[in-house]
Amino acid sequence: INNLNLSYGDLDPSDTPPTMSIDKLFPALLECFGIILCGYIAGRANIITSTQAKGLGNFVSKFALPALLFKNMVLLDFGNVIWPFLWSILIAKVSVFFIVCVITLLVASPDTRFSKAGLFSIFATQSNDFALGYPIVEALYKNTHPEYLQYIYLVAPVSLMLLNPIGFAFCEIQKWRDQRDRQQSKLQIVGVVILQVLKNPMVFMVVIGIIFHFILAQKIPAFMEQFVDGLANSFGGAALFYLGLSMVGQLGKLTRSTVVALILLITAKLLVMPLICRETVELLDADNTSSNLEHSSLSNYAFLYGVFPSAPSVAIYAAHYNMELQVVTSGMVISTFLSAPIMYVSAWLLTIPWMDPKPLMDSLQNVSFNVSIISLVALAWTVTVMFLSKKFKRLPHMFTVNLFLAQILACVSMIMWNFVVRQDRFIGHMLTFTLLYGSLYSTYVWPGLIALSLVLMKSGGELKVAPGFLVIAGWGVPALVAAVLLVTGERMPDTIDSAFFYGRPQVRQTGERIRVCDNPCFNLSPLRVPGRLYLELQFFCAVINYGQGFISFGLFGLDKHLIILPFKKKISCLWHRRKPEEQPQLVVSDDIMMTCTQFIRYHKEQCVQDIVQQKRCGERTVADTFLGSELVEWLLQVGLSQDRGEALLYGVRLHQGGVLQHITQEYGFKDDNLHYFSVSQRHMMKKRSAIYQT
């Protein structure tokens, strides 16, 4: 995308330069998501436990953010506010809130419809405006439209005061319906909702900031300016780091029953919301701005604002009511990381004032080429892992390898197409096109066949039909479709886009020939000058088609027993600069021995009864064992630990003290599906004596 060269001297004189600084967007995205990744790694590596992270969250929400809001409310210049734009965003949020709420009430189960309606509507409308949205807006508009930054401080609190109370009311109604005695009256429910709103630091501090805006005449006194600035400036990095911490373990709560709801929610937040924001600005602000350029800039800004992902506070609301926690937390994580490419591509397309198809198609071809190269490397690694682990011999991984092969051929064909398309060779074009779309269509067929094979598999791991039939279908049907395309289509020599290289020309009533061709992702009819939304779909289509290797790598390329665990073991050896067998026996501290003694005396017997079972370890061995994750869950249930991080540390102490061991003594204690067994009391006394002698 960055290779697109558009000089403003080549544009039409009536066109004007873009109204946002796109060159600063990528560094801003890298800064934001880099800090989020650091927070996620810190939480994942248990450097900061979830209990410790709550302290950082309290600082961000109750000190740093209120100071930031107070400062900006006092300094806010209401004279530069374009009020129709503000009303447009609010109307868009109300519309999305109403749509999600009504659909949820109609579709959801009667037992949980009110809680889902309240929390899902809040999820679709409450954006992460301050931690993630503000740095992006600042990078794009600080030099061109700095007044746009103040809209974030106006829109977010007002939507909290208008929409969130409605969502809280639905949650309180659900809570009231779940109570058997139902002692709470309707007036008490209204009081609880009002109290929830007033307790929100964002709402409270916005009101205080507006009051002091008029009292202090838009100026913070000198004696408190540095104090407020110190707290306000600490918000950005701390909030992003806490956002990364809050994402740890959230995707593990996702279940098959919540996938559909999650897809619909993310679609409403990242696709429907920005489109409605843009259209409401187009309608309501058409006659109120001073120029068409400013009107276009505001509508583009509204679209980008709608792409901001959901705020982590929605997960806090779900945890407070103990309702729909799996969907909300998983959706928060997925929407956050999906918003980055959507924002980047959207902002890039919005900066193009002149939509010339040829340079755009060149850029689309370059994106497909670059993505194919990276995806090809990821697929080569994934296939190597499948063969080294010998999974390719078992079902359904036998068919999974065919899917990887189809993805590899699609990437190789796109790389070949980048060179063949620029040469006037009909046979080369035809062969490359056949290989490209035969393999690309095969990547669409194989996932369905893999799912079908799982359905047809017997309990013994054998298929009810011959595997050859599925292999023939996986490769034969796509090849037949590609052949039909070549036979029925007509070559379009004036395009380099493979999706529009063969098609059927149609004639309008004016006699003008236009292309209507088969696109592998969407069936679209491009006009002579394509629209921005169409181009955005084209770019995402190219990334999804030729970037399938990234998904395959994430699912199969990081084999736990072949890659991850040996890598961790090697890193541990390098860290200690000696081999494991050369390490002397460590002296156990008094704290560890005290933890082990208390556990053995008061908790071990009950723990053995609850989680130790006869389990198969390998093909023939059966032993009385338990999983590391089961011990973590038990420690949480009985209250010996407050979160999974503390439970993991507790288990590590028990392992170091000799209370439990890995079944092959190969690994330490981990919150994972590794088998452990409880060490007997006699063995414990011998080990403790040896430790004291050391």
Give the position of tokens 């050859």.
468
The pairing of strands 490-491 and 502-507 is antiparallel
Alpha carbon separation from 96 to 273, 275, 538 (Å, rounded)? 7, 11, 26
The least confident of 508-512, 608-612, 649-653 is 508-512
Task: Give the pLDDT of residue 571.
Answer: 66
Residue 628: CB partners within 8 Å, gap ≥ 6?
651, 669, 670, 671, 672, 673, 674, 676
Return d(Cα 640, Cα 385) in angstroms, integer: 40
Describe the strand order of the beta sheet including 490-491 as a list of residue ranges.
490-491, 502-507, 513-517
Mean pLDDT across the chain:
76
Residue 389: CB partners within 8 Å, gap ≥ 6?
559, 561, 562
In the CATH scheme, what architecture does the domain 22-351 have?
A: Up-down Bundle (1.20)
DSSP track, 568-606: HHHHHHHHHTS-GGGSPPPPPPHHHHHHHHHIIIIIHHH
The pairing of strands 502-507 and 660-662 is unpaired
* H-helix or E-strand spanning residue 58: helix 50-59
Q: 167 with 349: CB under 8 angstroms? A: no
Return d(Cα 629, Cα 672) in angstroms, integer: 5
Kindly indicate the confidence band of residue 495, based on its pLDDT and cuts at 50, 70 and 90: low
The closest alpha carbon to 498, from 418, 615, 562, belongs to: 418
CB atoms within 10 A of CB 593: 17
The least confident of 16-30, 200-214, 543-557, 655-669 is 16-30
Task: Give the pLDDT of residue 352.
Answer: 59
Between 611 and 582, where is the model more confident?
611
Return d(Cα 517, Cα 74) in angstroms, integer: 57
Between 577 and 627, where is the model more confident?
627
- Chain segment 245-269, per-residue pLDDT in tens: 888 777 666 666 677 788 888 888 8
Return d(Cα 48, Cα 54) in angstroms, integer: 10
Tell me which range, 201-210, 272-281, 510-519, 673-682, is most confidently predicted by mean pLDDT. Answer: 272-281
Backbone angles phi, psi at 491, to 5 degrees: -70, 135
| Eight-class DSSP state of 288 | T
pLDDT of residue 54 exceeding 90: no
Task: Give the pLDDT of residue 517.
Answer: 43
Task: Give the pLDDT of residue 409.
Answer: 92
pLDDT of residue 273 exceeding 80: yes
Task: Give the pLDDT of residue 492.
Answer: 63
Share of the chain above pLDDT 90, in %: 4
pLDDT of residue 363 exceeding 80: no
Between 460 and 16, where is the model more confident?
460
Q: What is the dihedral of CA 605, 607, 613, 618, to 10 degrees?
A: -120
Q: What is the mean pLDDT of residues 20-37?
A: 78
Helix pair 113-125, 313-321: axis angle to 10 deg: 170
Whole-model pTM above 0.75? Answer: no
Structural domain boundaries of the chain?
22-351, 362-515+529-565, 590-689
The closest alpha carbon to 158, from 186, 182, 125, belongs to: 125
Q: Which CATH number is 590-689 given?
A: 1.10.10.10
DSSP track, 632-655: HHHHHHHTS-SSHHHHHHHHHHHH
Residue 25: CB partners within 8 Å, gap ≥ 6?
136, 139, 140, 343, 344, 347, 348
Return d(Cα 105, Cα 237) in angstroms, integer: 38
Q: What is the mean pLDDT of residues 510-518?
A: 41
In the CATH scheme, what architecture does the domain 362-515+529-565 have?
A: Up-down Bundle (1.20)
Between 100 and 685, where is the model more confident?
100
The closest alpha carbon to 657, from 683, 630, 684, belongs to: 684
| Eight-class DSSP state of 462 | -
Q: 415 with 396: CB under 8 angstroms? A: no
Task: Give the pLDDT of residue 287.
Answer: 62
CB atoms within 10 A of CB 104: 24
Tell me which range, 81-90, 142-151, 398-407, 462-471, is most confidently predicted by mean pLDDT. Answer: 398-407
Give the position of tokens 């994580």.
333
Return d(Cα 283, Cα 495) in angstroms, integer: 36
Token reading at 360:
């755009």
Residue 283: CB partners within 8 Å, gap ≥ 6?
88
Return d(Cα 592, Cα 641) in angstroms, integer: 15
Between 538 and 595, where is the model more confident?
595
Task: Give the pLDDT of residue 584.
Answer: 44
| Eight-class DSSP state of 369 | H
Return d(Cα 282, Cα 520) in angstroms, integer: 32
Task: Give the pLDDT of residue 568.
Answer: 63
Token reading at 210:
């507006």
Q: Is 146 helix (H, G, I), strand (E, B) or coil?
A: helix
Tell me which range, 13-17, 57-61, 423-427, 686-690, is most confidently predicted by mean pLDDT. Answer: 57-61
Give the position of tokens 């009002």.
194
Q: What is the mean pLDDT of residues 101-119?
A: 87
* H-helix or E-strand spanning residue 452: helix 426-456
CB atoms within 10 A of CB 351: 18
Give the position of tokens 């507006």.
210
Evaluate the CA torsion angle 505, 360, 146, 30 in order and state its sign.
Answer: positive
Q: Is 92 helix (H, G, I), strand (E, B) or coil?
A: helix
**What are 625's strand-pairing partners?**
613
Q: 139 with 21: CB under 8 angstroms? A: yes
Q: What is the mean pLDDT of residues 296-303?
A: 82
The least confident of 46-50, 157-161, 546-550, 654-658 is 157-161
Task: Give the pLDDT of residue 616.
Answer: 63
pLDDT of residue 518 exceeding 50: no
Task: Give the pLDDT of residue 460.
Answer: 55
Task: Give the pLDDT of residue 99.
Answer: 92
Backbone angles phi, psi at 662, to 5 degrees: -70, 145
